[in-house]
Amino acid sequence: MSDQEHQEERYEDTELYRIRHSAAHIMAQAVVELMPEAKYTIGPPIENGFYYDFDLPRTLTPEDLEKIEKRMRQIIAANHKFERKVLTAEEARQVFKDQPYKLELIEGLEQGGMDEYGNPLETKPEISTYTHDTFVDLCRGPHVESTRQINPSAVKLMQVAGAYWRGDEKNKMLQRVYGTAWKNATELEQYLWQLEEAKKRDHRKLGKELQIFTFDEEVGPGLPLWLPRGGVIIDMLEDLARELETKAGYDRVRTPHLTKEDLFIRSGHLPYYAESMYPPMELEGVKYYVKPMNCPFHHKIFASQPRSYRDLPLRLAEYGTCYRYEKSGELMGLMRVRSMQMNDAHIYTPEDLFEQEFMAVIGLYQQYFDIFGIDKFVMRLSTHHKNGLGKKYVDNERLWLKTEDMVRRAMSNGGVPYKEVPDEAAFYGPKIDVQIWSAIGREFTLATNQVDFAVPERFNLTFINREGQEETPLCIHRAPLSTHERMIGFLIEHYAGNFPVWLSPEQVRIIPITDGQNDYCVSLMKQLKDLGIRASADLGADRMNAKIRAAQLFKVPYMLVVGGREVETGVVSLRKRDGSRADGMPVSEFIALVQQRIATRSREL
């Protein structure tokens, strides 16, 4: 399979991109007609839609959005052509003389080749406009040929939010109008359904209802507290990782939560990563940092004794807790936190074994996907950009090109599809970023598989090769189960809280019909617990139906209803979470069912 065949079509080249980009211009026209004094800025397509930022004399209301949407449908129906025109900077200034944000963009294009966010461009671009009907916008395209190529029944405005001009909080707050556009009404309906379903499955909502985790202001934002039920899920994930990693030849290690700053200066993280680290603590004239990653510690473990080629590959694994100072506005439930427990490991390998080790990690990802029922995923090869050498990336173009080609070759030889994303690498090497989709088609960023050609040399990591000479190993950083926080957040939404039996915090709840069965229920609970089955008995004062409802709210997989007949005959009445029932089931048969589901990590009830 050629590299070209691995490339997915760029979003910018798709029909949906052009539809959404054009819809953003049409929306801007409608807004300017509603408020002629409006100052308009930028309106790009984004994943699943588009937005446009405006400086307006008043706040937009839901009624305004209805008017704007109605006007958009009229503009679409009029079948206006999108016409491109290349201008000089002076000509563009005349066109947009009353639009200060456009004038700022024109100056950036003219003087420094800057994009709409103030980032430098590789080459100085043409200054072009696109016109449809009466609306002219500064834009490089692309667009549809005419407005009628947009289906009016597949366009919807979603919400208004605040946004700083160019994303800088020092600039003025603008109003950002979000919209979505699809090829047809069916696709729009599917997307709106997905949004509603995502609200029901929101891990923040379900995590609270199912008592999995909580946050507390006195503890601090972005620092989750795992409740007992969440602790069970963590234990199960760690058991899974330990089992598969042991089979794959990993050794488990432990490292401290903080270290002297010298370690991060040596690793290079302080120059490249300081903004994401907590500030240092100074004791006895020495600065200490809480760790944002485990790799420098693992490098020290590698260096703790002489290594031979016979010792390699060396695979060091740790569920280490790391701390990163994410900006307050970027924190989001478990998906973006400041304290995280990472399914981390570092593989030290000679270059000739790199491909087999790298692809073994990819294979581990795929094992996890099978276990969790993740049917859709994308592997993204994130590469460097030569303009970032010495700033964003380690300054060694030769090794960048070499290791990127090594990853391409490994993925191609392994028959694993991927797409390339430039300028998204780690500072020390290329990486595979893994995107996954939940059961309802919502995309999540999971984890990475990174190649490190730079840092082992910084730590003087060497081994004696077959020729008796010192050689520096390559290092592969990997975290297939991401962090507990991100993975559990994903799984809550993926399963809508209906965890498979092996992962469920509470696997069985025993419910007596009357107090007369309490002793039997307690005895049965103890029997199940002795077998390693997570069981509880609801001996409260509520009626049986209320107890069943309570178990259903906690999404317990199995409810065992016990009455006088069950006690006399030594059976149970099984009610499953999905509503199915099996009355008069022998206890031994039920135990065999649960043990089979747990042992095989089955997704079946």
Task: Note whether 92 and 220 are same-domain residues.
Answer: no
Evaluate whether residue 312 is within a structural domain: yes
Name, in order, each residue with C-beta under 8 angstroms of 15's C-beta and a sequence gap of 6 or more: 183
Please compute the mean of the pLDDT values over residues 416-429 and round it to a whole number.
86
Name, in order, each residue with C-beta under 8 angstroms of 122's C-beta and a sequence gap of 6 or more: 113, 387
Bigger pLDDT: 593 vs 275: 593
Q: Which of 473, 495, 517 is the last residue of a domain?
A: 495
| Confidence band for 9, pLDDT divided at 50, 70 and 90 | low
**Residues written for the chain:** 605
Please compute the mean of the pLDDT values over residues 152-178 and round it to a whole number.
94
Confidence at residue 122, expressed as pLDDT on a 0 to 100 scale: 59
Cβ neighbourhood burial of 420 (10 Å; 0-12, 13-18, 19+):
middle
Nearest residue to 33 via CA among 59, 87, 70: 70
Nearest-5° Cα angle at 286, 282 to 290: 60
Bigger pLDDT: 494 vs 393: 494
Sequence-separated contacts (24+) of 540-546 with Cβ below 8 Å: 544/511, 544/512, 544/513
Confidence at residue 125, expressed as pLDDT on a 0 to 100 scale: 75
Q: Specify the residue for token string 């439930």.
A: 333
Bigger pLDDT: 120 vs 195: 195
Q: What share of the chain is helix, strand, coil (3-state, %, to 5)?
A: 40, 25, 35
| Confidence band for 127, pLDDT divided at 50, 70 and 90 | very high
Q: Which of 463, 495, 527 is the last residue of a domain?
A: 495
Confidence at residue 4, expressed as pLDDT on a 0 to 100 scale: 35
3-state SS, residue 464? strand
Task: Note whether 78 and 118 are same-domain residues.
Answer: yes
Task: Please tell me the distance from the alpha carbon of residue 536 to that of residue 558, in angstroms, as a whole number.
Answer: 11
| Confidence band for 496, pLDDT divided at 50, 70 and 90 | very high
Task: Note whether 220 and 346 are same-domain residues.
Answer: yes
Give residue 32's identity as a one-letter amino acid code: V
Task: Note whether 177 and 310 are same-domain residues.
Answer: no
Nearest residue to 414 via CA among 343, 366, 463: 366
Evaluate whether residue 5 is within a structural domain: no
Instruction: Count the domains in the chain.
Output: 3
DSSP 227: -
Evaluate whether residue 1 is within a structural domain: no
pLDDT of 21 over the 70 cut: yes
Domain interval for residue 535:
501-599
Confidence at residue 206, expressed as pLDDT on a 0 to 100 scale: 97
Nearest residue to 514 via CA among 570, 558, 585, 567: 567
Name, in order, each residue with C-beta under 8 angstroms of 179's C-beta and a sequence gap of 6 or more: 23, 24, 27, 49, 50, 51, 155, 156, 157, 158
C-beta atoms surrounding 561 within 10 Å: 21
Confidence at residue 5, expressed as pLDDT on a 0 to 100 scale: 37
Please compute the mean of the pLDDT values over residues 519-530 and round it to a whole number.
97
Please compute the mean of the pLDDT values over residues 498-506 and round it to a whole number.
98
Evaluate whether residue 605 is within a structural domain: no
Task: Please tell me the distance from the alpha carbon of residue 225 to that of residue 1, in angstroms, as a whole number.
Answer: 47
SS (H, E, C) 505-566: CCCEEEEECCHHHHHHHHHHHHHHHHCCCCEEECCCCCCHHHHHHHHHHCCCCEEEEECHHH
Q: Which of 132, 151, 184 is the last residue of a domain?
A: 184
Evaluate whether residue 346 is within a structural domain: yes
Task: Note whether 349 and 219 are same-domain residues.
Answer: yes
Task: Note whether 392 and 513 are same-domain residues.
Answer: no
Task: Please tell me the distance from the alpha carbon of residue 27 to that of residue 25, in angstroms, as a whole number.
Answer: 5
Cβ neighbourhood burial of 286 (10 Å; 0-12, 13-18, 19+):
exposed
Confidence at residue 1, expressed as pLDDT on a 0 to 100 scale: 34
Tens-place pLDDT, residues 223-277: 999 999 999 999 999 999 999 999 999 999 999 999 999 999 998 888 778 888 9
Cα distances (Å, whole numbers) of residue 96 to 80, 115, 352, 390, 598: 21, 17, 59, 38, 66
Straight-line distance from the first to the last Cα atom of the chain, in angstroms, rounded to the nearest whole number = 40
Percent of the chain at pLDDT exceeding 90: 81
Evaluate whether residue 360 is within a structural domain: yes
Confidence at residue 75, expressed as pLDDT on a 0 to 100 scale: 97
Confidence at residue 118, expressed as pLDDT on a 0 to 100 scale: 54
Cα distances (Å, whole numbers) of residue 385 to 381, 398, 400, 401, 458: 13, 12, 9, 10, 22
CATH code where residue 177 lies: 3.30.980.10
Q: Specify the residue for token string 């973006």.
A: 336
Nearest residue to 291 via CA among 318, 324, 251, 313: 324
Name, in order, each residue with C-beta under 8 angstroms of 320's C-beta and a sequence gap of 6 or more: 254, 255, 291, 294, 297, 341, 342, 344
Task: Please tell me the distance from the alpha carbon of residue 600 to that of residue 602, in angstroms, as a whole number.
Answer: 5
| Confidence band for 150, pLDDT divided at 50, 70 and 90 | very high
Task: Note whether 522 and 449 are same-domain residues.
Answer: no
Nearest residue to 432 via CA among 380, 481, 470: 380
Q: Is the dihedral of CA 596, 598, 601, 603 positive or negative?
A: positive
Are 316 and 250 a contacting pair, CB within 8 Å? yes
Please compute the mean of the pLDDT values over residues 462-471 and round it to a whole number.
96
| Confidence band for 3, pLDDT divided at 50, 70 and 90 | very low
The token duo for 592 is: 């065999």
Confidence at residue 428, expressed as pLDDT on a 0 to 100 scale: 79
Task: Please tell me the distance from the alpha carbon of residue 320 to that of residue 484, in angstroms, as a whole number.
Answer: 10
Mean of all residue pLDDT scores within the chain: 92
Task: Note whether 89 and 137 are same-domain residues.
Answer: yes
Task: Note whether 513 and 590 are same-domain residues.
Answer: yes
CATH code where residue 527 lies: 3.40.50.800
Q: What is the DSSP string of 140-204?
A: -----SBGGGS-GGGEEEEEEEEEEGGG-TTS-EEEEEEEEE-SSHHHHHHHHHHHHHHHHH-HH
Task: Note whether 27 and 56 are same-domain residues.
Answer: yes
Task: Note whether 399 and 311 are same-domain residues.
Answer: yes
Confidence at residue 114, expressed as pLDDT on a 0 to 100 scale: 57
3-state SS, residue 231? helix
| Confidence band for 116, pLDDT divided at 50, 70 and 90 | low
Please compute the mean of the pLDDT values over residues 527-547 and round it to a whole number.
96
Evaluate whether residue 274 is within a structural domain: yes
| Confidence band for 7, pLDDT divided at 50, 70 and 90 | very low
Task: Please tell me the distance from the alpha carbon of residue 517 to that of residue 327, in angstroms, as a whole number.
Answer: 54
Q: Is 2 left (phi over 0), alpha (psi -120 to 50) or beta?
A: beta
Tens-place pLDDT, residues 335-387: 999 999 999 999 999 999 999 999 999 999 999 999 999 999 999 998 988 87
Name, in order, each residue with C-beta under 8 angstroms of 599's C-beta and a sequence gap of 6 or more: none
Task: Note whether 392 and 480 are same-domain residues.
Answer: yes
Evaluate whether residue 56 is within a structural domain: yes
